[in-house]
A and B are shown apart, each in its own frame.
Chain A
Amino acid sequence: MSLDFELRHEDKGEQRSRKAVLLFHGLTGSPFELKKYGQFLYNNGYDVYADCLPGHGDKVREIYTVKYTDWLDFAYKKFEELNEEYEDVFVSGLCLGAVLAIAVGIKYPDKVKGIVSLSTTLYLDGWRLPWYKVLIPVGLSTLIRFYYNYPECEPHGIKNERTRSIVKKLLAKGDVGMNDFPMTGIYELLKLSKIVRKNLKELSTPILLIHSEEDDLTSTKSAETVFNNISSSDKEKIILNDSYHMVLYDNEKEFVFNKALEFFDARCSQALKNEEDVVCC
């Protein structure tokens, strides 16, 4: 079952949109986790694209062999395709997707209109991590990474108990993503994070960082690292107080949706043009 989705206005007989948002999901996740967010942006005039990242989706075994370079190539290719087609292309993502969105921004600083980075995962240092988290670097750099999948467990990145129980049921059925985090996937995510951290200075694209104070997987250190090291002058950081890692499904999801939309709207070519006209007048 394909979980990819493309929401295009012209497909529904409406006028063709000139602005698009490219969304990336998180590690072991799927575009399902972006569906509500994507639908919200679509309802507000954007064409939205969200595809399964390499190693995710139907062929579960592929997550064990996928490399971070596969994710990067996929993200770059997808962005280039959309950039040919649209006047304004924004990128946004959650967790691994947020790191990829930043990587796209670093590679195409003049082409990406803006980035909304949600729960950026540059470090694995959230409060949910088990007692043996100090041994994770040893596990990742030795053969142990092939022996073990870190189990997806309570609270599943969600503070809202009702949503959590729904996601738990869906995860048990395997409908929305994987039930475990393969260490090999975490290994590749951390390699990607390291490269992105090294190149943050090259990011000059407008960016909105949204991170939860109580993120169970990655602390606010990740968002702060990005915020303090990029060269973008147009940057904003929002810290949420009533959510965990999955900010798109938690208590403050509407706030997150609206902030992202505000950010995109303010940076569209049309909005910038109108602003210039006002200034000229």
Chain B
Amino acid sequence: MLLRISEYIFIIISLLLVLSLIINKTYICHIKDNMKKSDYVAGIALLFALYVLSALITAILIPNIYCKIVMILFALSPFIIGKMATYEKEKIYTVFQILSILASGIFVLYFIL
């Protein structure tokens, strides 16, 4: 039961995070006034934190060892991609990040649920 709840929460957070990253790239990043977008960007940071947390909780609750490893990799992906990213290739890495979050959601949806 606990595993099922954490999986649903993880999928919802993943979807919200993907949406917020897309909205950020298409609309928010064009706003010049940083004061106006600070709360939105802080919201993305919060979603990233929740994503990592829920992925780790799911990884702990999953009985299958291989699924555990995959979930831990997904949990670490924002930091791994963040470390690798450069200013010049930021757009490519953003796409990569979105795909990685989507893949994690699909993984939970098909392999675990």
Contact = CB atoms under 8 A, between A and B. Distances in A.
Contact of A64 (B28, B81, B87): B87
Interface class of chain B by DSSP: helix
B101 to A, nearest CB: 11
A144 B45 contact: yes
Nearest to B25: A147
Contacts of B93: 143
A142 B87 contact: no
Interface residues of A, number: 22
Contact of A151 (B35, B46, B85): B35
Interface string B92-108: 01100100000000000
A2 interface: no
Count class of interface residues, chain B: 20 to 34
B65 to A, nearest CB: 27
B83 to A, nearest CB: 7
A200 to B, nearest CB: 25
B41 A146 contact: no
B45 to A, nearest CB: 4
Contacts, number: 69
A179 to B, nearest CB: 9
Nearest to A61: B87
A144 B38 contact: no
A149 interface: yes
Contact of A135 (B24, B37, B46): B46
Interface string B26-68: 0011000111011101101110110000000000000000000
A143 B85 contact: yes
Contact of B87 (A148, A150, A184): A184
Contacts of B88: 65
Interface in A117-176: 130-132, 135, 138-139, 141-151, 153
A142 to B, nearest CB: 4
A180 interface: yes
B78 to A, nearest CB: 5
Contacts of B35: 151, 153
Contacts of B39: 132
A141 B45 CA distance: 10
A148 B78 contact: no
A144 B48 contact: yes
Interface of A: 64-65, 130-132, 135, 138-139, 141-151, 153, 180, 184
Given A65-B86, A139-B42, 9 more contacts: A64-B87, A130-B42, A135-B45, A141-B79, A142-B78, A142-B79, A144-B41, A148-B34, A151-B34
